[in-house]
Amino acid sequence: MKKIIILTTFFMSIMKPVAAQKSNTDKSVEYANTITATDLAKHLKILASDSLQGRETGEQGQKMAADYIAEQFFNDHLKPVMKHDGEDSYFQHFDLVRKSWGEVYIETGTKRREFLKDFYLLGALSIPQEKNVEVVFGGYGIESEKYSDYKNINVTNKAVLILSGEPKSKKGKSLVTDSDKPSEWASDWRKKVTLARQKGAAYVLVIQPDEMKVGTFIANYRGYLTNPRLILKYKDTPTQGDGTIFVSKEMAVEILGVSEKALAKWQRKIARKKTPKSFAIANVALKFENKEQIVQSENVLGLVEGTDKKDEIVIVTAHYDHVGIINGEIHNGADDDGSGTVAVLEIAQAFAEAKRNGDGPRRSMLFMTVAGEEKGLLGSEYYTDHAALPLQNTVCDLNIDMIGRIDEAHTGNPDYVYLIGSDKLSSKLHAISEEMNQKYSKLALDYKYNDPSDPNRFYYRSDHYNFARYKVPVIFYFNGTHEDYHRPTDDIEKINFAKIEKIARLVFHTAWEVANREERIKVDSNKK
């Protein structure tokens, strides 16, 4: 009899969490349905309004958005996890260094070339006093098995000037692949810059490709090229930076001391002889002066505390900053990333309601909207370097960025979402994502941008990546870019709220399953 009682107690004990989990799972639809297009629109009407002035990181509009998000977390009874001046707070504050341009020029011989006329810079660079630098012509800046521009040159502590694209034969074949198929060097200038840095180059100058002349590029992107740069204060160093200088062909031939015809002749000679043409040339004088100011920004964090597995954390993120006012025009960022931000708010209220009703998650749910994404994923970088809750206890990050529009590839088929990174670190997370979609959402899951060879490299361009750096499994939910991306026309009138609702519910179901399952998902992969 005693054995029977023990066995009965044992079976009751092991069945109890299973039954609870099944009940929890069945109720997920009830709570997912509280995520509605109407409520999403209500939030976005405020966050993407002109009154928030484009939510530029560190500016008043961004702080107004942060206050609104914190107010929603408070109203939904999410728990603050930060302390500020001894008080509980939803804000994780961090300091940034704002750098704007002072005097910037490049002198070639007797001529001083003008910034944003003859050349522009992508990235950061600090040369406060004029500096004379030896320049080496590095051909196409390529090194591969069949072709190398670095064979007979030394670029250590020098500036290297390289051509865009790759060498081709008279028949148009790539000399790198020895076929009609272009190599990855053909379009990936970052790869060339990385190689030049590895070779010891202090500065990299890229000759602007013919497809878009320097003047055209500057005219199209002047606002971004002149906007102040932001750097996390704790990572700011007096180093020169690693920005890339793009120069016009006219400026390049002046540095080289030849005509444009001679440069074209060199390129034909490379193609004919299948050998590079790299050599040292004259010095140039550089000055890239920076002006600095300290500004403060904040991530906004709210917690729905778990039950028996509350020390493990599932995170849902989106960035709530945008690019502010450029050339006098407010960029409201309704899709980028107002859409993701309002999705986080609605998913948070759904989990909070479940907890109030006694159906709360077993693992804790941290809802976080971050700032500084548009400036280089700064808010999420700060969080992962200064995590409010231990990263070793963080199960995954589900990141939402731009889910309110339909891209050209899916015209007429709005029920899709791009998933990026779901299989990079955890096969189980990927499987759960697929299962939840099949069971509840039935969206077309598009993995186009998950391909490591995709030139857009979106995996590295939103806040989930800072979690992935620390081996925290991630999923990035994305709908692709559109003609209003980073333009003042990214407004609420163009948002498809039914679409946000569907994707937000998919994120909810995935988070619900990860938070309530018995076993924590494991890191079992390390894909690029």
281 burial (CB, 10 Å; 0-12 / 13-18 / 19+) is middle
Domain that residue 367 falls in: 24-79+305-516
What is the number of other CB atoms lying within 10 angstroms of the CB of residue 164?
Answer: 18
DSSP letter, residue 115: B
- Check whether residue 224 and residue 156 sit in a common domain: yes
> Is residue 87 situated within a structural domain?
no
Residues 6+ apart with CB under 8 A from 142: 148, 149, 166, 167, 176, 183, 185, 192, 195
- Check whether residue 259 and residue 111 sit in a common domain: yes
| Residue 398 backbone phi and psi in degrees, to 5 | -105, 110
Rounded percentage of the chain residues whose pLDDT exceeds 90: 76
- Flag whether pLDDT at 24 surpasses 60: no
Mean pLDDT of the chain: 92
pLDDT of amino acid 31: 98
pLDDT band at 474 (very low <50, low <70, confident <90, very high): very high
Q: Give 468-495 as a DSSP string.
A: HTTT--EEEEE----TTTTSTT--GGG-
- Flag whether pLDDT at 223 surpasses 70: yes
> Is residue 7 situated within a structural domain?
no
Residues 6+ apart with CB under 8 A from 298: 63, 66, 91, 92, 93, 94, 371
- Flag whether pLDDT at 334 surpasses 90: yes
- Check whether residue 124 and residue 217 sit in a common domain: yes
pLDDT of amino acid 2: 32
- Condensed to tens digits (0 to 9), the pLDDT of residues 127-165 reads 999 999 999 999 999 999 888 899 889 999 999 999 999
- Check whether residue 50 and residue 117 sit in a common domain: no
- Check whether residue 284 and residue 317 sit in a common domain: no
pLDDT of amino acid 467: 99
> Is residue 93 situated within a structural domain?
no
pLDDT of amino acid 423: 97
Nearest partner of 278 among 170, 209, 195, 181, judged by Cα: 195
- Flag whether pLDDT at 5 surpasses 60: no
- Flag whether pLDDT at 199 surpasses 70: yes
- Check whether residue 464 and residue 317 sit in a common domain: yes
- Among the residue ranges 28-37, 52-61, 162-171, the one predicted with the least confidence is 162-171
pLDDT of amino acid 247: 96
Q: What is the CA radius of gyration of the chain?
A: 26
How many domains would you assign to the chain? 2
- Check whether residue 465 and residue 321 sit in a common domain: yes
> Is residue 458 situated within a structural domain?
yes
Q: Give 248-266 as a DSSP string.
A: -HHHHHHHHTS-HHHHHHH
Among residues 258, 292, 326, which one ends one of the domains? 292
Among residues 292, 325, 360, which one ends one of the domains? 292
Q: Give 136-152 as a DSSP string.
A: EE-TT--B-SS-BSSTT
CB of 301 within 8 A of CB of 93? no
- Check whether residue 385 and residue 502 sit in a common domain: yes
Q: Please state the pTM of the whole predicted model.
A: 0.80
Among residues 236, 270, 292, which one ends one of the domains? 292
pLDDT of amino acid 238: 64
- Which CATH number covers residue 199? 3.50.30.30
Segment 471-491 shows an average pLDDT of 98
- Flag whether pLDDT at 241 surpasses 80: no
Secondary structure class of 409 (helix, strand, coil): helix
- Flag whether pLDDT at 169 surpasses 60: yes
- Check whether residue 280 and residue 319 sit in a common domain: no
- Check whether residue 147 and residue 170 sit in a common domain: yes
pLDDT band at 239 (very low <50, low <70, confident <90, very high): low
pLDDT band at 8 (very low <50, low <70, confident <90, very high): very low
> Is residue 319 situated within a structural domain?
yes
> Is residue 92 situated within a structural domain?
no
- Condensed to tens digits (0 to 9), the pLDDT of residues 501-514 reads 999 999 999 999 99
pLDDT of amino acid 25: 54
Strand partners of residue 366: 303, 315
Nearest partner of 504 among 466, 477, 464, 470, judged by Cα: 477
Question: Higher confidence at residue 481 or residue 18?
Answer: 481
> Is residue 17 situated within a structural domain?
no
Return d(Cα 468, Cα 459) in angstroms, integer. Answer: 10
- Check whether residue 497 and residue 428 sit in a common domain: yes
- Check whether residue 413 and residue 324 sit in a common domain: yes
- Which CATH number covers residue 370? 3.40.630.10
> Is residue 95 situated within a structural domain?
no
